[in-house]
Structure 1
Amino acid sequence: MAFEQADIGGTAGGERRADVAIIGAGPAGLTAGYLLAKAGKSVVIIEQDETYVGGISRTVEHEGYRFDIGGHRFFSKSAAVVDLWNEILPDDFIERPRMSRIYYEGKFYSYPLRAFEALRNLGLLRSAHCMASYAWFKLFPKKDVKSFEDWTINQFGQKLYSIFFKTYTEKVWGMPCNEMSADWAAQRIKGLSLWSAVVDGLKRSLGLNKKPNDGMQAKTLLENFRYPRLGPGMMWEAARDKIEAMGGTVLMGHSLKQLSADGRGGWRMSATTADGEVVIAADHAISSAPMRELGRRLHPLPDTGLNAAELNYRDFLTVALMVEGEDLFPDNWIYIHDSKVQVGRVQNFRSWSPELIPDEDMACIGLEYFCFEGDGLWDMEDAALVDLATVEMKTLGLLDPARVKGGVVVRQPKAYPVYDEDYAANVEAMRRELEHRHPTLHLVGRNGMHRYNNQDHAMMTAMLTVENILAGERVYDTWCVNEDAEYHEAGDEGAERALPRREVSEDQAAALASLRDVPERVKPAAETNVAAGADTRKVA
């Protein structure tokens, strides 16, 4: 469809006009809006939040304290993404040290896990138990390996599995480890060899090996990362401001009511507000809304609407505590592998950026609870959650409750798309129908594509979508972003300059990668074989 420059301020029959209507002002939606506006196209973006842009990458402010929802390191292998970050926010990045550890029964363990260090911290008796368990399952491994639990026990033994893998994994994903696939475990924990760690430790204790190994064969994670000095929301607030300066519109507090095909290849998008309803007419529509919600609001309803309705999500909430005194620990965040508490991860916001904390005599920590919207944690009163967080920090021995001077709760719905038994088929059905029937409707981002994308992956899907819109055809396959299993923070920043076209090389597909971070449920062998034979990389 040829573009006709539209006056976004004008209306026809009570409608706003734009070249492109965008649902959601998260990283994907704002990236698309920025690049389209820069190319001279008129855009309208609707965002249901009344205050914040950035989606899960927003920065929430409370009484001068700023909270990063989930923690966002600004690192990407894609030079295009890094260049865009620098273009949108050229003067406000700071360099921060990377530090994450595991906490278990009063001791800290390196993350990623270093096996010899872990055995040393556990003490003689427990280490002996761990080694005996390890030896037993090496001699007598589980033969029918289907689940995360099966695979991990065979690799490390029952005891180490129960300490370092089971508790935290089940907190995050809300399902038992014996229901998660073994394939995901193999990808998730690659590179850690307990036996080589023990041999290496013995050699070093005898002075035979000066070079530390600790059983880690995988690449070292980045030691430093860049970060906006006022949090990730600073990036997306700047993007919003630049879009508006170029004539685009970002409508806050606007929730998608319906997205209707106009019969001519374009779209009419209606959004509800506190004051009524707004309608936007556009040639193209870009959606970063959860695929399940889009499926319910498309008109005419897609044949695959029932598939979209079956998609599920994992939610979480952050309880931020304002604490009197110095920071409690130097980490960006700590993984809590302790079954005595419900908290899964604890952030130290000053370690992300000192400017997130307005008072140098105060510290601020964020306790992250993984849950499902509507369950007991999600529905708990804010005051009760602050009390729970305070008590759990005391239980862990990390905090004196008398030092807590305040707290606030931030809820994040639909944080993680769930990869259950049927998700892949449901997503593929929705995708195929929309691409066939509605070539001017584009799905982008984590929830828009129901893929556990990182921030830079979400941006890349939007960048490729903009290229397709400007070209007037699907030059790039956006579904090839985030297909590889290589660890996202390994490798060099900005090293990959290629974009995935119709025919995708292995190196190009690996440019942005963290798909392995999401578990799939155990599937019957026949179903697994069918899924393994599927190849959706080429554009239909």
Structure 2
Amino acid sequence: MGKTNLSQETVPTVVIGGGPAGLTAAYELQKLSDTHVPHVLEASDMVGGISRTEAFKGYRFDIGGHRFFTKVREVEDMWNEVLQDDFITVRRLSRIFYRGQFYDYPLRIFNALGNIGPYETYKIIGSFIKWKIRPKKQEDTFEEWVINRFGGRLYMHFFHSYTKKVWGIPPSEIRADWAAQRIKNLSLPKAVWNAISGANDTASLIEEFHYPRLGPGMMWEKTQQLIEEKGGTVQMRSEVVKVNRDGNRVTSVDVRRWDEENGASETIERVEGEHFINSMAVRDLIHAFDPPPPPEVVEAADRLKYRDFLIVTLMLDHADPFPDNWIYIHSPKVKVGRIQNFRAWSKEMLPDQDTSSIGMEYFCQKGDGLWSSSDEDLRKLASKELEDLGLAKASDVFDSTVIRQPKAYPVYDGEYKDALNIVSGWLKTLENFQTVGRNGLHRYNNQDHSMLSAMYAARNIMGASYDVWDVNIERSYHEEFEVKPKQKRLLGKLGKNTAL
């Protein structure tokens, strides 16, 4: 096994993962210190994680659309520092396809009433009043949370089917804290008022946003460049397979490296460091520790689940089959969940302005029928569904490519909260190791909150005391994340046995 000793004149920090969180941690650390040198290890051959921009024959496309909008000042400052004049301002246009009709999103009152009709509008209002008078006493699930704010009728129309499509489980099995995090500050009266007045302070409904002219991956490719210019390293095809620890301190990681282009055989190299920041999926992380955590922690990590994702990008022989940036597909008659029009994000995403690049997004599980389908079968499915939705003809498609993304979304099911309390409790006992980002915290953060958790981790290395686990948790849900007495006793036991 090879061994890497970073310079003794500096303080080496090993960063696991080259996505938004990992690269932000490295970038922030370099802003704070000239002596702390980040060493980023990325398993794939691209930086950016799920925020990367893939390319195929000159067409660039996102792995899910990524708007650059935030209320977090330090995140916005970093975006502007890195990309400067490479941002464009994009006017948002998105709609919902439901029961054969398109609904503007954010809500346009006359569009919505015209589509749904006066009778159903009356039923929606009546349902809303009913649930306001007699709300569900507990809001443990996504279903209960939404019904209390929108009424059962609107929930049935616009939340149930799409949520089930995205997660693959009934909304009654998804925890309410996911709703509070993703559609916070929104209710039916507020949505109607926004539609009438034009007022809007809800992040999920913003009407324009910044976007890198070559896609979100441009942000992370430039960040990588800046890190390396300042003396840090970002190594691709470098998968961390083991995290070595001595009691409560992590001492090194074992890295599997390979070079596909030159056909070189893989090697295992040990990389030592003084500090460690992780952004790989926390379930995988727990299994990477040597010696392993106590069995209770491993068992808890195994209860954390993920939703996988794939995108079929179709190239069409004409421009702009629809004007939207993206469309949410609530219809259960098709499998596609969301459709992107990448030219509507930035014209520079396409090499030929007389064509289209359409991303058909499917939510799935690794190994299921969709995931395991051949690329040709997925092209046929996506082309047919595009035609079934009346957006373009299948015969308009002249090329396609498929990207499969495992662990795209951490699942907020009935088990995750107790399991995450145990896992996070043990991880917090480590003195020089922090975990950040969407999968590193098992939290469905947007890009900005993943970045903020990474900034906090870098600042902690310099002596601050931020709780990275506290980023983007609704205040009303702090109580739900408190450790229960049984877990507290268990964590006390674990804290005494971290060298096991």
TM class by smaller structure: 0.7 to 0.9
Correspondence for 1:279: 270
Deviations 1:238-290 (A, max 9, x none): 11111122222211111111010256945211111232112111111111010
Q: Is the 8 A contact 1:21 1:285 kept in 2?
A: yes
> Would you say 1:288 and 2:272 are equivalent positions?
no
Counterpart selection for 2:103 from 93, 101, 109: 109
Q: Is the 8 A contact 2:30 2:227 kept in 1?
A: yes
Correspondence for 1:61: 55
Counterpart CA distance in 1 for 2:207 and 2:189 is: 24
> Would you say 1:23 and 2:16 are equivalent positions?
yes
CA shift, 1:225, in A, is 1.0
Counterpart CA distance in 2 for 1:189 and 1:286 is: 29
Counterpart CA distance in 1 for 2:424 and 2:133 is: 46
CA shift, 1:223, in A, is 2.2
Correspondence for 2:355: 362
The 4+ residue runs of structure 1 with deviation greater than 6 A are: 131-146, 214-218, 527-534
CA shift, 1:354, in A, is 0.6
Correspondence for 1:339: 332
CA shift, 1:420, in A, is 1.9
Q: Is the 8 A contact 1:95 1:226 kept in 2?
A: yes
Counterpart CA distance in 1 for 2:129 and 2:462 is: 60
User: Match of 2:304, as an amino acid?
Assistant: L
Counterpart selection for 1:237 from 213, 217, 221: 221
Correspondence for 1:398: 391
Q: Is the 8 A contact 1:116 1:215 kept in 2?
A: no
Correspondence for 1:259: 243
Q: Secondary structure at the match of 1:447?
A: helix
Counterpart CA distance in 2 for 1:375 and 1:91 is: 43
Q: TM-score, normalised by structure 2?
A: 0.84
- 1:514-533 equivalence runs, <5 A: none
CA shift, 1:191, in A, is 4.1
CA shift, 1:89, in A, is 1.6
User: Match of 2:434, as an amino acid?
Assistant: H
Correspondence for 1:467: 459
Counterpart CA distance in 2 for 1:444 and 1:154 is: 32
Correspondence for 1:42: 37
Q: Is the 8 A contact 1:103 1:336 kept in 2?
A: yes
Cα distance, 1:124–1:241 mapped onto 2, change above 3 Å = same
Correspondence for 1:519: none
Q: Secondary structure at the match of 1:34?
A: helix
Correspondence for 1:213: 196
Counterpart CA distance in 2 for 1:92 and 1:196 is: 33
Counterpart CA distance in 1 for 2:332 and 2:159 is: 11
Structure (1/2) with the larger helix percentage: 2
Counterpart CA distance in 1 for 2:162 and 2:136 is: 23
Q: Is the 8 A contact 1:99 1:330 kept in 2?
A: yes
Q: Is the 8 A contact 1:117 1:214 kept in 2?
A: no
Counterpart CA distance in 2 for 1:155 and 1:102 is: 20
Q: Is the 8 A contact 1:116 1:194 kept in 2?
A: no
Q: Is the 8 A contact 1:394 1:401 kept in 2?
A: yes
CA shift, 1:122, in A, is 2.4
Cα distance, 1:485–1:108 mapped onto 2, change above 3 Å = farther
Q: Which residues of structure 2 form unaligned runs of 5+?
A: 259-265, 489-494, 496-500
Counterpart CA distance in 2 for 1:456 and 1:295 is: 25
Correspondence for 1:480: 470
CA shift, 1:42, in A, is 2.2
Deviations 1:159-200 (A, max 9, x none): 543322211111112111233356765774764437995xx9
Correspondence for 1:86: 80
Counterpart CA distance in 2 for 1:172 and 1:104 is: 15
Cα distance, 1:157–1:48 mapped onto 2, change above 3 Å = same
Counterpart CA distance in 1 for 2:407 and 2:190 is: 40
Correspondence for 1:457: 449
Cα distance, 1:259–1:118 mapped onto 2, change above 3 Å = same
Deviations 1:330-360 (A, max 9, x none): 2211111111101111111011111001101
Q: Secondary structure at the match of 2:418?
A: helix
Over the matched positions of the two proteins, sequence identity in percent amounts to: 45
- 1:121-520 equivalence runs, <5 A: 121-123=115-117, 147-149=141-143, 152=146, 159-181=153-175, 188=183, 191-193=186-188, 213=196, 219=202, 221-262=205-246, 265-274=249-258, 275-303=266-294, 304-436=297-429, 438-471=430-463, 474-484=464-474
Deviations 1:126-167 (A, max 9, x none): 556666777887899888886544565676665543322211
Q: Secondary structure at the match of 2:27?
A: helix
Q: Is the 8 A contact 1:192 1:215 kept in 2?
A: no
Counterpart CA distance in 1 for 2:224 and 2:482 is: 44
Cα distance, 1:265–1:117 mapped onto 2, change above 3 Å = same
Cα distance, 1:446–1:485 mapped onto 2, change above 3 Å = same
Q: Secondary structure at the match of 1:84?
A: helix
Q: Which residues of structure 1 form unaligned runs of 5+?
A: 1-11, 201-210, 487-514, 517-526
Counterpart CA distance in 2 for 1:146 and 1:286 is: 32
CA shift, 1:300, in A, is 1.2
Point out the more displaced range, 262-271 or 412-421.
262-271
Cα distance, 1:533–1:127 mapped onto 2, change above 3 Å = farther
CA shift, 1:421, in A, is 2.0
CA shift, 1:440, in A, is 0.3
User: Match of 1:458, as an amino acid?
Assistant: S
Cα distance, 1:216–1:87 mapped onto 2, change above 3 Å = closer
Q: Secondary structure at the match of 1:419?
A: coil
Cα distance, 1:237–1:127 mapped onto 2, change above 3 Å = same
Cα distance, 1:463–1:296 mapped onto 2, change above 3 Å = same
User: Match of 2:312, as an amino acid?
Assistant: V
Correspondence for 1:14: 3
Q: Is the 8 A contact 1:114 1:216 kept in 2?
A: no
CA shift, 1:99, in A, is 1.7
Q: Is the 8 A contact 1:173 1:314 kept in 2?
A: yes
Q: Is the 8 A contact 2:227 2:233 kept in 1?
A: yes
Counterpart CA distance in 1 for 2:290 and 2:51 is: 30
Q: Is the 8 A contact 2:360 2:382 kept in 1?
A: yes
